[in-house]
């Protein structure tokens, strides 16, 4: 039964190999979307275009994403669909696909539509939209997460196999934690930003949501390529999913600096994951996270707000009523900042980066809870800034420090909510993150109820003169 088919890459490939037609998969996508009955997920979905794309694929031809349905956050261009950034008055009709979308389509993937977001990608709650708010896939009382809210929910519900989000402050990771899926935030510049509406242009990246690390990595591998048209594009050598090195040291916040805002269950879940990592032979080193929090504070309290102001442009002064009130209240703070403030912020970041670099001496990766606690729709409505800020505790500093991140589901908390940690690496270590994630990836696939496919853990490489300790899971 197609209605039972898990939308993972491996299951879809098996179905196609067995003769299933992509047109049937697209029909099933829309059947699932109808069944979800959530008008907040997509701002634009095009069944006919998707069916036409499916028909045009012809016979399976071995392309890595042949027939794979995906969704695109509505601040990324898809030719033939409007781009709005959740600001209807901002809408334009892009002439071409964003660079990354074009690569995914060229690999055979099929766009279903454009997903809802916190307007202009400013937010981590997913509720700052003039449209209906997408419902959290696991618990409608909880915020869906943002800013890539629709892209997180649509994957967690199994409607598409993967989605594109964007990530400046955590928008590609927070929805993953809140919906029990994987969120890959690549190193800045690895995925071209051509055809993406900027939030903070020096800190933005497109991101990938999927049900499993293997799927997210497969999508990333197709999407990543140097783009001569994007001034912030960077060339990284082609990366296989790295094997777990035989000696691995991961730093985590020490007891004094771990922040969960009173969520003891979240703390317990995080410690359980660390225990699992230790069991797998990883050395866990507790460090003071203060320098990282100091960096995080700069993203909204410092000069970088002005990047959002620059991105919104004249709208802020000429048509402020077209902005979501919370978005507007944040972005207009940038109008008061001077160029001297901006450069002083840049200097301070350089100083703080030095402290963070020192804190990471001898460390391979960091591991943090993806979110410190859960936030209800009610809490968000009562204070739309405070709880949003809390959600960024472990994400806001990452792009400012030019690190890559991978939010990984790691089972279920004792209260039934999804557990998630984020592995963080230095620029270019994306492949290592994806490899190490296999040590902890566990639990339900979003809200789908599907069985998690076995993740192949790459074999550790023995160091000379030493016998590798086999790590199985």
Q: Distance (Å, rounded) from C-alpha 31 to C-alpha 115?
A: 17
Q: Is 231 in the site for a second copy (CB under 8 A)?
A: yes
Please state the closest distance from residue 335 (CB atom) to a second copy, in A.
7
Q: Distance (Å, rounded) from C-alpha 112 to C-alpha 230?
A: 26
Size of the site for a second copy (CB under 8 A): 28
Is 114 a known active-site residue?
Answer: no
- Near a second copy by CB under 8 A: residue from 17, 255, 256, 350: 350
Contact yes or no for 86/117 (Cβ under 8 A): yes
Please state the closest distance from residue 179 (CB atom) to a second copy, in A.
32
Which of 114, 147, 148, 185 is an active site residue?
147
CB of 105 or CB of 353, closer to a second copy: 353
User: DSSP 3-state assignment of 184?
Assistant: strand
Residues linked to residue 71 through DSSP beta bridges, in sequence order: 113, 163
Contact yes or no for 367/424 (Cβ under 8 A): yes
- Count of Cβ atoms closer than 10 Å to residue 416 Cβ: 9
Radius of gyration of the chain (CA): 21
Q: Is 31 in the site for a second copy (CB under 8 A)?
A: no
Please state the closest distance from residue 345 (CB atom) to a second copy, in A.
8
Q: Distance (Å, rounded) from C-alpha 423 to C-alpha 26?
A: 33
Q: Is 342 in the site for a second copy (CB under 8 A)?
A: yes
Please state the closest distance from residue 349 (CB atom) to a second copy, in A.
9
Q: Distance (Å, rounded) from C-alpha 266 to C-alpha 375?
A: 12
Kindly state the helix (H) or strand (E) to which residue 71 belongs, with its residue range: strand 69-73
Binding segment toward a second copy, per CB under 8 A, in 12-20, 178-186, 212-220, 302-310? 302-310
Contact yes or no for 252/274 (Cβ under 8 A): yes
Q: Is 35 in the site for a second copy (CB under 8 A)?
A: no
Contact yes or no for 121/185 (Cβ under 8 A): no
Binding segment toward a second copy, per CB under 8 A, in 205-213, 269-277, 349-357, 431-439? 349-357
Which of 171, 221, 233, 389 is an active site residue?
171
Please state the closest distance from residue 102 (CB atom) to a second copy, in A.
20
Q: Is 294 in the site for a second copy (CB under 8 A)?
A: no
Q: Is 335 in the site for a second copy (CB under 8 A)?
A: yes
DSSP state of 83: B
Please state the closest distance from residue 130 (CB atom) to a second copy, in A.
24
Q: Distance (Å, rounded) from C-alpha 345 to C-alpha 102?
A: 36
Based on the number of CB atoms within 10 Å of its own CB, is 79 exposed (0-12), middle (13-18) or buried (19 or more)?
middle
CB of 40 or CB of 345, closer to a second copy: 345
Q: Is 337 in the site for a second copy (CB under 8 A)?
A: yes
Strands 69-73 and 162-167 come out as parallel
**Residue 310-329 contact track with a second copy, rule CB under 8 A, x = bound:** x-------------------
CB of 351 or CB of 414, closer to a second copy: 351
> Six-digit token pair at 98?
């964003």
Is 151 a known active-site residue?
Answer: no
Based on the number of CB atoms within 10 Å of its own CB, is 279 exposed (0-12), middle (13-18) or buried (19 or more)?
exposed
Q: Is 306 in the site for a second copy (CB under 8 A)?
A: yes
CB of 303 or CB of 447, closer to a second copy: 303
Is 147 a known active-site residue?
Answer: yes
Q: Distance (Å, rounded) from C-alpha 166 to C-alpha 157?
A: 19
User: CA dist 63 to 67, 312, 350, Å?
Assistant: 9, 38, 43
User: DSSP 3-state assignment of 403?
Assistant: strand
Binding segment toward a second copy, per CB under 8 A, in 87-95, 234-242, 281-289, 337-345? 337-345
Q: Show contacts with a second copy in window 351-380 (CB under 8 A).
A: 351, 353-354, 358
CB of 142 or CB of 303, closer to a second copy: 303
For residue 174, which phi and psi values (nearest 5 degrees)?
A: -60, -45
In the block, tokens 């499916």 appear at 54
- Near a second copy by CB under 8 A: residue from 68, 174, 211, 303: 303
Binding segment toward a second copy, per CB under 8 A, in 65-73, 249-257, 272-280, 335-343? 335-343
Please state the closest distance from residue 166 (CB atom) to a second copy, in A.
17
Q: What is the binding site for a second copy (CB under 8 A)?
A: 201-202, 228, 231-232, 303, 305-307, 309-310, 334-335, 337-344, 346-347, 350-351, 353-354, 358
Could you list the active site residues? 73, 147, 171
């Amino acid at each position: 039964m197609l209605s039972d088919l898990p939308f993972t890459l491996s299951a879809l490939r098996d179905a196609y190999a067995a003769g299933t037609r992509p047109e049937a998969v697209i029909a099933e996508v829309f059947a699932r979307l109808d069944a979800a009955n959530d008008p907040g997920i997509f701002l634009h979905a095009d069944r006919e275009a998707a069916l036409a794309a499916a028909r045009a694929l012809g016979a399976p031809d071995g392309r890595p994403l042949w027939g794979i349905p995906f969704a695109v956050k509505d601040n990324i261009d898809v030719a033939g669909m409007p781009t709005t950034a959740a600001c209807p008055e901002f809408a334009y009709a892009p002439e071409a696909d964003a660079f990354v979308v074009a690569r995914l389509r060229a690999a055979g993937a099929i766009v279903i539509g454009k997903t809802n977001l916190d307007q202009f990608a400013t937010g981590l709650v997913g509720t700052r939209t003039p449209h209906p708010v997408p419902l959290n896939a696991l618990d409608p009382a909880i915020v869906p997460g943002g800013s890539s809210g629709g892209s997180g929910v649509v994957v967690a519900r199994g409607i598409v196999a993967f989605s594109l989000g964007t990530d400046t402050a955590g928008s590609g990771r927070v929805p993953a934690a809140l919906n029990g899926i994987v969120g890959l935030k690549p190193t800045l510049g690895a995925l071209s930003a051509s055809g993406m509406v900027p939030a903070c242009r020096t800190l933005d990246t497109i991101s990938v949501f999927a049900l499993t690390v293997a799927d997210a990595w497969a999508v990333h591998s197709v999407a990543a390529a140097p783009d001569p048209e994007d001034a912030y594009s960077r060339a990284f050598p082609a990366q296989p999913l790295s094997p777990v090195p035989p000696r691995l040291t991961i730093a985590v916040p020490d007891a004094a600096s771990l922040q969960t805002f009173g969520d003891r269950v979240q703390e317990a879940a995080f410690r359980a994951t660390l225990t699992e990592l230790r069991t797998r032979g990883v050395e866990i080193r507790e460090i003071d996270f203060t320098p990282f929090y100091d960096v995080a504070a700069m993203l909204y309290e410092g000069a970088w707000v002005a990047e959002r102001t620059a991105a919104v442009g004249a709208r802020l002064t000429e048509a402020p009523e077209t902005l979501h009130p919370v978005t507007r209240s944040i972005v207009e703070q940038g109008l008061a900042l001077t160029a001297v403030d901006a450069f002083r912020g840049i200097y301070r970041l350089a100083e703080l980066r030095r402290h963070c670099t020192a804190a990471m001496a001898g460390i391979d990766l960091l591991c943090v809870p993806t979110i410190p606690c859960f936030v209800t729709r009610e809490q968000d409505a009562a204070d739309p800034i405070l709880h949003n800020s809390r959600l960024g505790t472990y994400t806001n500093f990452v792009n400012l420090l030019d690190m890559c991140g991978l939010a990984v589901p790691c089972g279920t908390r004792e209260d039934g909510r999804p557990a998630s940690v984020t592995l963080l690496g230095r620029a270019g270590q994306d492949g290592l993150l994806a490899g190490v994630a296999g040590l902890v990836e566990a639990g339900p696939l979003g809200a789908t109820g599907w069985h998690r496919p076995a993740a192949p853990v790459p074999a550790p490489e023995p160091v000379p003169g030493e016998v590798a300790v086999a790590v199985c899971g």
